[in-house]
Amino acid sequence: MSFVMAPDEREAFLAGVHVGVLAVERDGRAPLAVPIWYDYRDGEILLWMHRGSAKDRAIRAAGRFSFTVQSETVPYRYVTAEGPVTAADRAPTRAEATAIAGRYLPDGEAAAFVGDGPDADSVLVRMRPERWLSNDQSKT
């Protein structure tokens, strides 16, 4: 019996609300692995972060990253996606930032969190997955 999710199942799971874990290689150090809010739209993972942060520097140097989301209740499930950065050249729009924050905060709080919009020190990182790992323990 296979616990591997079909492509539509893993994409639906990734589109659900989970805190993701970004994992990215770093020269001469252990990989950086940190939790982060995200969005998944049109086959891309979108991450909003501060330009120049440890996450941003590691992603720019590596040019690719892995991203994992999981459920923490039975039945346990996870999806890991890995691929190249497809864009990291601009700050998110207010709508993009609100879409990410709105996955995790109530509407009014998401709008307040974003404020007038992300500042110039923000960057929207996009990745289109090329490789997938998944497991769905409900397939028993």
Residue 96: per-residue pLDDT:
94
pLDDT confidence of residue 11 = 92
pLDDT at 117: 80
- Answer for the pair 69, 14: CB distance below 8 angstroms, yes or no: yes
CA distance 11 to 4: 12
Question: Tens of pLDDT along 71-82?
Answer: 989 999 999 999
Per-residue pLDDT reduced to its tens digit, 14-40: 999 999 999 999 988 999 999 999 999
Cα angle for residues 61, 87, 114 (degrees, 5° grid)? 105
- Tokens describing residue 93: 């729009």
Q: Cα separation of 2 and 136, whole Å?
A: 9
Cβ neighbours for 83, distance < 8 A, ≥ 6 positions apart? 64, 65, 127, 128, 129, 130, 131
Query: For the chain, which ranges sit under pLDDT 70?
Result: none
Q: Which amino acid is at 69?
A: V
| Cβ-contact 69, 129 below 8 angstroms | no
Q: What is the pTM of this model?
A: 0.92
Phi, psi of 4 (to 5 degrees): -70, 135
Q: What is the DSSP string of 32-85?
A: EEEEE--EEETTEEEEEEETTSHHHHHHHHHSEEEEEEE--SSSPEEEEEEEEE
DSSP run (H or E) holding 15: helix 7-15
Cβ atoms of 113 and 106 closer than 8 Å: no
Say what the pLDDT of residue 70 is: 96
Which structural domains are found in the chain, ordered by start?
7-136 (2.30.110.10)
